[in-house]
A = this chain, B = another copy of it.
Amino acid sequence: MRETRAPTLDTLLREGGKAAAGSHGVEDLVSVKLWQNPCWLSFRINFLALQFNEPIYRHIEKEHGLARPEFVVLYSLGLSDGLTASAICSSSGFPKNTISRAIQKLVDKNIIRREVDQADLRSFVLYITDEGKRIVDQAMQPMVERENIMVSSLTPAEKLMLSELLAKVVVESSKWPSMTHIEENEE
């Protein structure tokens, strides 16, 4: 009867939502990765990121001829015009050379415009063009739709809760240690 003692928090987290889910539908290995995984969070997050990104970026590539880094730049400017390359880098996580190339392509395609920042001659300020706006607007629709589909099984209250919890984690992310030198077990 030792088996019936209260489960640890770790176990609870790992098996979070298992009871509610039953076992229908989900692929075998997916359910293992869901319920028997010490890294409950990273699997869930990565899996969902992938499920979202893969079809969306494939579609954007087909429809607008933009690769992912290009669209990331465009999307960022769509949310906040007049950005600098490095701002886009740090908010998106792409390395600066990748973003640099993306910017050049977008400039060539007349989707964005680039002006020297008079306050800092090293950097450029980027502006979205009308053509660019047209593209983001159009590309946004499928993205929003897919998001809605993804959370369609949640109640409004649950959606809100999810949004808030994730936001909380994102906000705290600036305080996480940089993990540059993780404890080296072997010297």
Contact = CB atoms under 8 A, between A and B. Distances in A.
A161 interface: yes
Give the interface residue-count category, chain A: 35 or more
23 contacts: A9-B156, A12-B160, A16-B163, A17-B168, A26-B170, A29-B90, A33-B76, A36-B79, A36-B80, A37-B79, A41-B162, A42-B52, A44-B167, A44-B169, A44-B170, A46-B53, A51-B173, A55-B178, A142-B182, A142-B183, A149-B176, A153-B168, A161-B165
Contacts of A90: 27, 29
Contact of A44 (B79, B87, B163, B175): B163
Given A34-B167, A44-B169, 17 more contacts: A14-B163, A16-B163, A17-B171, A21-B167, A29-B76, A32-B79, A40-B147, A41-B166, A42-B143, A46-B52, A47-B93, A48-B166, A48-B173, A59-B182, A150-B172, A162-B162, A162-B166
A179 B29 contact: no
B179 A45 contact: no
B143 A185 contact: no
Given A47-B170, A173-B48, A13 B79 contact: no
A130 to B, nearest CB: 17
A136 to B, nearest CB: 10
A28 interface: yes
| Copies in the assembly, this chain | 2
Interface in A113-128: none
A65 interface: no
Nearest to A58: B179
Contact of A144 (B38, B44, B162, B178): B38
Contact of A165 (B59, B83, B158): B158
